[in-house]
Structure 1
Amino acid sequence: METIHSLHRALEAGESGDALRRFFTTDAVTVEHPNLIKPTGARMPLDKMIEGSAAGVKLLSSQKYDVHSTSRSGDTVIVRLTWTGVLRSGDQLVAHIAQFAEMRDGLISSIETFDCYEPFRNASSIAV
């Protein structure tokens, strides 16, 4: 469980790009289910996740992960959290999230995420 919490802390601290590789296996993937920002969802291998984190840093002035609960079932870590991101424009995004992280050898091999965004202006203008 510590790896996923460490990833959240690194993201809050503004880390992005290759600095995040230390949390993931080389074959890691993320599956993001459809939401307001990605209406068709997305599936990304590690390199695309790393690119996306760099793009996210350009959009956000800050982000916070407020973890409400964490549990583990075998190699799966389940996290329920609220994410708050502040865009460089000053607008704020809030998402209530359930994450399912598969772990292998202490690293994240996959993250499946269900992001429920609170309503916000110009959802279609945000591309991450």
Structure 2
Amino acid sequence: MVVHMTPVEAAHALHRALEAGKSGDELRPLFTADAVTVERPNLIKPHGARSPLDEMLANSDKGTGLLSSQKYDVHSELVSGDTAILRLTWTGVLRDGKQLVAHIAQFVDTRDGLIRSIETFDCYEPF
């Protein structure tokens, strides 16, 4: 029996997997084959970025190599149709012990219980 996640459940499943150190193909089951991520301009990516699934998964492997841990604290969430809208704080600890903090508005669009797209607006605290 296949259980379809709600949009909020799908977003939380991704956050929990990333917090657990999962990356790359370990994350693939959470996404549709045509999934994309859109990052709006921010301090780390001043021009923003658009990444199809394979690039997104490769980027998650790179992130895992840079971070010793990461945490997602969700402050509020709501659902509109197949989209979860979350306001959260992300905290990443680099391998050298330095901490990055971003305040994020995240839009997670789903199809059939899987993540179809993620659009993020990341506001990083000064490094």
TM-score above 0.5: yes
1:17 aligns with 2:17: no
Offset of 1:11 from its aligned partner?
0.2
* Match for residue 103 of structure 2 among 78, 93, 96: 96
* Match for residue 66 of structure 1 among 66, 73, 76: 73
Q: One-letter code of the match for 2:89?
A: T
The answer for the alignment partner of 1:117 in structure 2 is 124
- TM-score calculated relative to the size of structure 2: 0.93
Question: What are structure 1's unaligned runs of at least 5 residues?
Answer: 121-128
- The 4+ residue runs of structure 1 with deviation greater than 4 A are none
Offset of 1:74 from its aligned partner?
0.7
Offset of 1:76 from its aligned partner?
1.0
| Separation of aligned partners in 1, 2:30 and 2:79 | 17
- TM-score calculated relative to the size of structure 1: 0.93
2:27 partner SS: helix
Tell me the number of residue pairs that the alignment of Structure 1 and Structure 2 aligns: 120
| Separation of aligned partners in 1, 2:104 and 2:30 | 20
Question: What are structure 2's unaligned runs of at least 5 residues?
Answer: 1-7
| Separation of aligned partners in 1, 2:96 and 2:52 | 29
Q: One-letter code of the match for 1:35?
A: N
1:87 aligns with 2:94: yes
Offset of 1:41 from its aligned partner?
0.3
* Match for residue 48 of structure 1 among 49, 55, 60: 55
| Separation of aligned partners in 1, 2:95 and 2:33 | 31
Offset of 1:25 from its aligned partner?
0.2
Q: One-letter code of the match for 2:114?
A: L
Root mean square deviation, CA, Å: 0.5
